[in-house]
Amino acid sequence: MARASTIPKFLLIKDEYDFSEPVKNLYRKKLKQATMIDHDRLFKELLSTFFIEFLDLFLPQMAQLIDRNSISFLPQEYFADLTSGDTKIIDLLAQVQLAGQPIGFIVHIEAQAASQADFTRRMFFYFARLHQKYLQRIYPIVLFSFDEPNREEAHQYTVEFEDLKVLEFNFCSIQLNRLNWRDYLTQQNPVAAALIAKMQIAPVDRPRVKLECLRMLATLRLDPARSRLISGFVDTYLRLNRQEEQVFQTEVGRLEETQREGVMEIVTSWMQQGIERGIERGIEQGIEQGERSLVLRLLARRVGELPEAVRSRIDALSVTQLESLGEALLDFTQLSDLETWLAGQR
């Protein structure tokens, strides 16, 4: 299915753009919903397919204690959030047993795509309800996958008084944007090959990181279905612009022959899939071009006519960066705000 534009038509009112606070808040909410759907699917597929490899990579001590033949995934759990009125879906629950023992417990993994002020409280609510339902120990893990902010996320929820600590709830936190992708290059692990794409990456390194992900994937020799899952994940989160694609192709040419053949096999598979989905891709590219054009028009309304140098820098933005700009521009009031934002993308 082609990717829908994240710049909604409701911003338009009689050919004018409505930047009132209620509309901006609605825009931000719809933008988060649009980007979360695909994120949830990709991460759930990755973590359920490579569950033990995920534990091997980030929690090796736990992985060694688990009977790998005992792993079974539990049905999705739906919880009503009485505070917000929303229905929450727990991402992944796995029933496991300790090796050589009849003792079992549940691993709860939550993939969190946005920083939220009350998230630790929500994790405690999940824990309490799961513990109440299953009467088992719950091992909670959160995989923070957002690009910003870079500050360390809280991983503890407490309730206490001056003379009494009533509750201290902790969960295991894995924050990808605080991990250096170079530290994972030697890991022979499919989850590493995928999640490097979401780690701390300088913009100038994006082509090389994508190449390293595919090089790692090529050496793993996975079956076609699992290989497509990893390569699709990488291509989604490291979608290169034209300039980056040229750098990527140059770097591929510098690989040792065996590695180059493995990477090109993956790239060729992408091309074949692209041909099979030619109409769909054409629609998606049209949406992207229309989105870029709309962002430029919105910017002109907010900060005035854009200098050619600024337009060129916007043209060079990746799809992910363009979507971030589509949200950030709502708070711009002058050209310097845009220039400051662009400077932060280097």
| Domain assignment present for 211 | no
Residue 107 placed within a domain: yes
Q: Is residue 132 part of a domain?
A: yes
Domain of residue 136 covers 50-178
242-253 vs 206-220: helix axis angle to the nearest 10?
50
89 — phi, psi (to 5°)?
Answer: -115, 120
Question: Which pLDDT does position 324 carry in this prediction?
Answer: 82
Q: Give domain status of residue 325, yes or no.
A: no
pLDDT value at residue 88:
79
Tell the residue number behind the tokens 């338009």, with chain if given.
Answer: 12
Residues β-bridged to residue 156: 170
Is residue 106 in a domain?
Answer: yes
Answer whether 249's CB lies under 8 Å from 214's CB: no
The predicted structure's pLDDT at residue 138: 96
Stretches where the chain sits below pLDDT 50 are 1-15, 34-37, 274-280, 283
Q: What angle do CA 16, 22, 34 make, to 5 degrees?
A: 85
Determine the pLDDT at residue 17: 52
Strands (E) located in the chain: 12-13, 16-17, 72-73, 78-80, 87-89, 92-97, 104-112, 138-144, 156-161, 164-170, 172-175
In a domain, residue 183? The reply is no
Range 234-239 contact pairs with CB under 8 angstroms and sequence separation of 24 or more: 234/193, 234/194, 234/197, 234/210, 235/270, 236/38, 236/42, 237/197, 237/198, 237/320, 238/197, 238/206, 238/209, 238/210, 238/213, 239/318, 239/319, 239/320
pLDDT score of 5:
47
Number of domains in the chain: 1
Q: What is the pLDDT of residue 12?
A: 44
| Size of the chain, expressed as the number of residues it contains | 346
Report the pLDDT value the prediction gives residue 95, as an integer from 0 to 100.
96
Evaluate whether 219 touches 242 at the Cβ level (below 8 Å): no
Q: How many CB atoms lie within 10 A of CB 197?
A: 23
Q: Give bridge partners of residue 110 from the DSSP assignment.
A: 142
Is residue 19 in some structural domain? no
Decide: helix, strand or coil at residue 164. Answer: strand
Residue-wise pLDDT tens digits, 226-262: 998 998 899 889 888 889 989 998 988 888 888 888 8
The structure tokens 């929690």 sit at: 59
Tokens 């979360």 belong to residue: 36
Residue 21: per-residue pLDDT = 61
Nearby residues of 8 by Cβ (< 8 Å), 6 or more positions away: 27, 30
User: Is residue 70, in this structure, part of any structural domain at all?
Assistant: yes
Tens digit of pLDDT for each residue in 48-77? 999 999 999 999 999 999 999 999 999 888
pTM over 0.75: no
